Amino acid sequence: MTITAAADGSALGNPGPAGWAWYIDEETWHAGGWPHGTNNQGELMAVLDLFRSTAALGQEPLRILCDSQYVINCVTKWMPGWKRRGWKKADGKPVLNVDLLSQIDAELAGRNYTFEWVKGHAGHPLNEAADTKARAVALAYQSGRAPVEGPGFGGNGGAAPSPAPSSAAAPQRPADRGASLGAAEGAGAGALGAVPEQAGLFDEIAPEPEQAERARDVEAVVELEQELLDPGVRGDYGQLAFLLHPEYREIGASGRLWGREELIEELVAAPGSQARFELVDAVPLASDLVQVVYRTVNGTGSALRSSLWQRTEGRWRLRFHQGTSEG
């Protein structure tokens, strides 16, 4: 019999107090977290713990519902190439979250599993339950309370807890966290090129608390840019609406001014073609504003692009984007 479970993660501020959870029903779920982590780390840990908690199933099918394209692509598309290169990306830089990904890879051997993407925050009962329990853990860490971890699989309390990812236990400098951007899927009608992997942002950063916090904000925004620019996300109305600010505007490489709704409709109809992504700069402009500057290159030429991400009600959303053709 196929076991169906939802896996989800939550990070307040992304990064910030973080939680993860997988959920089958009210008698079968498990949750955990860390004082500091990212959404992606929570999503990956939920999947890792689900595999460990159900290891006794052997070849019994496991159907994993996940609202993160990043996690699904990591496990089902990118990991084989990363492993062949010694957990390095095509540009030779280290893979982000390799500590969790390598453990997931080890758990896949001999398992019968499938991943299925579900839209987050759209009323799917299993996804909503996993999200609620992951967020509850993050809130517990934020307030200094002990998190509720759940009964686990078969009432065994879940798998043995995994050590926190190297960047989740406490705030660290981006140079320590190995953030990186890789080659991109291309620009769509609104000039949004896809970024399936990440590249290094900083070689060195001062350890002062304010500077370290700004650096973590920059990394979080780059992760969100990666998620937004994934072709699977650009082709999904719900995810675009979640990531684009209500007052979003864009000036495309053609000079056209796009409004939020018309751009979303255009991207869903034509998510884009392949392009190369070249990071130019990524800097915090204020405590709630980050700018990312990059270049996209495809068969028709190149364009220089700039994105402004604004933190609104505790989460980052893309407020403005501009592309300028370089001929």
Q: Per the structure block, which two tokens stand in for 193?
A: 């090129």
Indicate if 121 belongs to the active site: yes
Which residue matches tokens 């959404």? 39
Catalytic residue among 27, 81, 116, 121: 121
Catalytic residue among 8, 107, 217, 227: 8
The strand pair at 3-11 and 62-66 is best described as parallel
How many of the other CB atoms lie within 10 Å of CB of 279? 19
Q: How far apart are CA 234 and CA 237, in angstroms?
A: 8
Catalytic residue among 9, 150, 158, 188: 9
Catalytic residue among 43, 107, 219, 225: 43
Indicate if 8 belongs to the active site: yes
Q: How far apart are CA 277 and CA 184, in angstroms?
A: 5
Distances from the Cα of 192 to the Cα of 112, 250, 258, 301, angstroms: 36, 10, 12, 14
**Treating both helix axes as pointing N-terminal to C-terminal, what angle do 98-108 and 39-53 enclose, rounded to 10 degrees?**
20
Catalytic residue among 105, 131, 225, 236: 131
HSE-up (13 A, CA, CB side) for residue 151: 9
Indicate if 9 belongs to the active site: yes
Q: How far apart are CA 292 and CA 284, in angstroms?
A: 9
Catalytic residue among 16, 36, 67, 223: 67
Q: Which of 60, 48, 56 is nearest to 21 (CA)?
A: 48
Q: How far apart are CA 222 and CA 215, in angstroms?
A: 11
Residues acting as catalytic residues: 8-9, 43, 67, 121, 131
